[in-house]
Amino acid sequence: MIEMSFANAKSMYRQEFITADRSPHKKLLFKLAVTIFFAVFASQTSFAFQAITQDAATQTDDVKTAIVSIDELMANMTLEEKIGQLNLLTPGGAVTGTSVSKDVASKIAAGNVGGVFGIRGIDRVRQLQEIAAEQSRLKIPLLTGMDVIHGHETIFPIPLALSCSWDMELIEATAKAAAKEATADGLMWTFSPMVDIARDPRWGRIAEGAGEDPFLGSAIAAAMVRGYQGEDLTSPTTMLSCVKHFANYGAPEGGRDYATVDMSQVRMHNEYLPPYKAAIDAGVGSVMTSFNVVDYIPASGNQALFKDLLRDRWGFDELVVTDYTSINEMTAHGLGDLQRVSAMALNAAVDMDMVGEGFFRTLKQSLEAGDVTQAQIDAACRRVLQAKADLGLFEDAYRYCDAERGKTDILSESNRNFAREVAAQSFVLLKNEEKTLPLKKQGTIGLIGPLADSSQNMLGTWSVSGDAKKSVSVMAGMKQAVGDDVEILYAKGCNISDDPAFAKRVNTFAQEIVISDLDADEMIKEAIEVARKSDVVVAVMGESSNMSGESSSMADIRLQPAQRKLLKALAKIEKPIVLVLFNGRPMTIKWESENMDAILDVWFGGTEAGNAVADVLFGEVNPGGKLTTSFPVSVGQIPVYHSMLNSGRPYNGDGDAPKFTSNYLDIPNKPLYAFGHGLSYTTFEYGPPTLTQTEINDGETIYVSIEVTNTGDRAGTEVVQMYLRDVAGSISRPMKELKGFEKIELAPQETKKVSFEIDQSLLSFFNSDLEFVAEPGMFELFIGGNSVDVQKLEFELK
Ligand code: BGC
């Protein structure tokens, strides 16, 4: 037997998931075909057709050769059955909201349900699918959904971490792998990607998105949609993707989840909408509404947002689903009773009602009262049926119920190897004084901290189907990596938090924060003894998995007091300390950044987190991740992001800001770690950038190029970033906007030339009339390895 090296095995696996053909997927073609007709050949699988032959007044004679369109199917549906298709229920299993649905099986049998979510496993899914496809009058199969957010059972790094890889092929491949696993588990619809731009790390759901930038966020949105949906949605290994949460959900006041969002249309169009649009342009099959208000109207009933923008302007004619009970919540928003808000949602061109059953309970009456029209109900029903047709469900309702696949496709060794590779790519080396990292495989290492031996906290938020017991802790990963070469001494040192009330709230889903019976001082003492005996300390600290995520906002984003106390005690021992930080959000770590020798931000790396941490700590893998979200100096600095406006009294310096400029008296304006920042074990040098022309005339394209050299002694990856600034416009424009990036790999001493194309579309933005325009005038171009250390050029758009 030929032994494949670990590295080879990993990259081969990665190839398997990377689609070579980047052409627009075939979904559209397929869809056209299905829209016109879907052929029904075998009576055993002809669910919709069977129904018609059994029950409809008007039927086709020849069962074997009949062609039944969605129109024909709908012609045979009662009003109740049409409204039933708009009803999305969750029978309980993976509970992701405030309530679960009742009497799901009997509602399915009565034709009152269009889809279910939050259940998994072929047997369970099949049980419900059988009721729909065999017992209901029209035998219309169900959609089966789930939050497959960063992997299914094999959990990849949280989305914020994934974004720090800046590697679109890798990200696409994770979605593809997740779809392959999820579809082997009975699922066909994922509520992902979440593409909400977020600039407030107090908001726990910052963990679920791609960070602060719309340009990068758009590229990631498209990559994930491609990964989930592939070239052919009817393939049993691809699934329908759902981009969320439309719109602006990532900007709640005070970072408090579900709270008010209020922003200008200009900001919304330039900075918040692009990733949703990118997902749509990539062919996403569904969109989810958001919980927040947009211009004071809750998104789920917002006509301007859905009917005018999404449907009419963007031409999106696919499925729109609400977020969890968000129609019902419009009552609490102050928009009226269920009858009224449900009609509002349908009037806004929303199709499917998640869990709340507002449509189910009220639409018939609203139709009679003239508050909604039959055409609106028909349009919504048609879009649900179309999604089912796109997935091939009318040809085979059990397409995603192949029990055999479950045995090989889920949590396989190759999936785990891939997850390990991906996790290492997502880590960001924030600081590395005196080359503290990589660690040598010798001597004694003091492994200290409440997350050092915690497989419970490797997966991060929204790992609904992940099993924490199957994840690799940092301790296990490090021990595996060093064998007998290194002595690893361990001390927990402190609890993640000492506050029982806080721990109880965080531990809603699992015992993430375990408060030890040991006295806090005793724990610190033990840790100090370990540190004294060690050559280097690896302190593994930060947040537990669900200290970020939905309904997990935090007002104080420092390390918890118990951890700060431990770290301060350790710092006095005068041993080199590497802080391995687990977090679902940027944290305020000013003291740590001043006192630690090295800081490796590992977010939540997923099933293979511990192995990946060991790979990077010991230098098997050279870290290359770059921040996609700025780290504030303190909470008071929020929001801080690279694309801020300049203001009329800017202060962009480092020292004492002059009076009457825009600044704080007590902290600097600049973030602690800027967008795009991330170190490597090697070093890169940038040559002088050059432009092919310093003027762009109508329709022209210019190019900026720069040479990057690996000046260190080991191979590494670098993300070359290009930013633009429109110096004088009809509206105030950001100081810097990311407009290009490329991740390159360089051998020691190797030089590569990177070029970016600049044309008018790249310079365009939404003006105050919401027209997408490029305005003539001077532009500044910044290029470098992060958003701060850049070289500047200028050009003019004529
Ligand atoms: C979340 C969505 C999620 C849905 C279904 C909601 O609470 O906001 O992101 O997809 O639940 O689980």
The DSSP-derived string for 503-529 is HHHHTTSS--S---SS-HHHHHHHHHH
What pLDDT, on a 0 to 100 scale, did the predictor assign at position 41? Answer: 30
H or E stretch at 458:
none
Closest residue (by CA) to atom 6 of ligand 1? Answer: 324
Q: How far apart are CA 639 and CA 201, in angstroms?
A: 8
Question: What separation in Å is there between the alpha carbon of 461 and the centre of ligand 1?
Answer: 12
Own/partner contacts of 3-10, CB < 8 Å, gap of 24 or more, are 6/417, 9/414, 9/417, 10/417, 10/418, 10/420, 10/421
* pLDDT at residue 293, rounded to an integer: 98
For residue 147, which phi and psi values (nearest 5 degrees)?
A: -80, 90
Indicate if 323 belongs to the active site: yes
- How many other CB atoms sit within 10 Å of the CB of residue 436? 17
* Residue 114 exposed, middle or buried by CB count within 10 Å (0-12, 13-18, 19+): buried
CA nearest ligand 1 atom 8, residue: 323
Q: What is the predicted pLDDT for the residue at 48?
A: 41
Distances from the Cα of 766 to the Cα of 194, 270, 281, 761, angstroms = 23, 6, 18, 11
Distance from Cα 756 to the centre of ligand 1, integer Å: 38
Q: Which residue's CA is minimally distant from atom 2 of ligand 1?
A: 323
What is d(CA 677, CA 218) in angstroms, rounded to the nearest whole number? 20
**How many Å separate Cα 544 from the centre of its chain?**
18
CA 621/CA 558 separation, integer angstroms: 29
Residues 159/211, Cβ–Cβ less than 8 Å: no
Q: At what angle do helices 609-617 and 474-482 cross, to 10 degrees?
A: 50
Is omega for the bond preceding 193 within 30 degrees of 0, making it cis?
yes
Question: Six-digit token pair at 86?
Answer: 């708009």
Contacts of 581 (CB under 8 A, 6+ apart): 430, 541, 542, 587, 589, 592, 599, 600, 601, 602
The reply to whether ligand 1 has any atom less than 6 angstroms from the CB of 97 is: yes
Asked whether 38 lines ligand 1 (CB < 6 A), one says no
CA-CA distance, 722 to 690, in Å (whole number)?
A: 13
Please name the residue that has the structure tokens 């997408």. 772
User: What residue ranges of the chain have pLDDT lower than 50?
Assistant: 1-67
Report the separation in Å between the CA atom of 472 and the middle of ligand 1, taken as the mean of its atom positions: 27
What separation in Å is there between the alpha carbon of 497 and the centre of ligand 1?
A: 27
Would you say the C-alpha torsion 228, 231, 237, 242 has a positive or negative sign?
positive
Residues 298 and 292 sit within 8 Å (Cβ to Cβ): yes
Distance 377 CA to ligand 1 centre (A): 24
Distance between CA atoms of 193 and 176, rounded to whole angstroms? 12
Instruction: Give the residue, out of 158, 190, 191, 465, with the most ligand 1 atoms within 8 A of its beta carbon, to mutate for a pocket test.
Output: 191
| Inter-residue contact 650 to 662 (CB < 8 Å) | yes
Ligand 1 pocket member 257 (CB < 6 A): no
Q: Is 191 in the pocket of ligand 1 (CB under 6 A)?
A: yes
**Cis-peptide into 668, omega within 30 deg:** no
Ligand 1 close to Cβ of residue 550 (< 6 A): yes
Torsion sign over Cα 99, 101, 103, 105 = negative
User: What spacing in Å lies between the alpha carbon of 31 and ligand 1's midpoint?
Assistant: 27
Q: Ligand 1 mean position to 196 CA, how many Å?
A: 13
729 lines ligand 1 (CB under 6 A): no
Question: In this structure, what token pair is assigned to residue 30?
Answer: 């397929």
Written as six digits, the tokens of 458 are: 């490797």
Q: Two tokens at 417?
A: 């190897």
Helix (H) or strand (E) holding 58: none
Angle value at C-alpha 239, between 238 and 244, nearest 5 degrees: 140
Q: Is 323 in the pocket of ligand 1 (CB under 6 A)?
A: yes
Q: Which residue in the list 200, 213, 323, 390 is annotated as catalytic?
A: 323
Residues with Cβ within 8 Å of residue 784, at least 6 apart in sequence: 686, 720, 721, 790, 791
The atom of ligand 1 lying closest to the CA of 191 is 10
Residue 740 corresponds to which amino acid?
A: G
SS (H, E, C) 215-283: HHHHHHHHHHHHHHHCCCCCCCCCCEEEEEEECCCCCCHHHCCCCCCCCCHHHHHHHHCHHHHHHHHCC
How far apart, in whole angstroms, are the C-alpha atoms of residue 579 and residue 533?
18
Q: Which atom of ligand 1 is nearest to the CA of 464?
A: 12
Which helix (H) or strand (E) segment holds residue 319: the answer is: strand 319-321
For residue 98, the surrounding DSSP H or E stretch is none
Q: Which residue has the tokens 């109880």?
A: 504
The two tokens of residue 424 are: 């290492």
Atom of ligand 1 nearest to the CA of 290: 8
- Angle (nearest 5°) at CA 490 between 492 and 572: 75
Residue pair 268/217 in contact (Cβ under 8 Å)? The answer is: no
Residue nearest to atom 12 of ligand 1 (CA): 96
89 CB-side CA count, 13 A: 23
Strand partners of residue 598: 432, 578
C-alpha 145 to ligand 1 mean position (Å): 11
CB distance 181 to ligand 1 below 6 Å: no
Task: Say how far apart CA 207 and CA 161 lie, in whole Å.
Answer: 8
Provide the pLDDT for residue 18: 34
Is 484 in contact with 574 (CB distance < 8 Å)? Answer: no
Query: Shortest CA distance to 351 belongs to which of 545, 598, 101, 84?
Result: 84
Q: Which atom of ligand 1 is nearest to the CA of 208?
A: 9
- Kindly give the number of the ligand 1 atom that is closest to the alpha carbon of 94: 12
Burial class (CB in 10 A: 0-12, 13-18, 19+), 63: middle
For 32, residues 6+ apart whose C-beta sits below 8 A from its C-beta are none
Which residue in this structure is represented by tokens 């109508």? 698
Res 94: pLDDT: 81
Encoded tokens for 430:
């924030």
pTM equals: 0.93
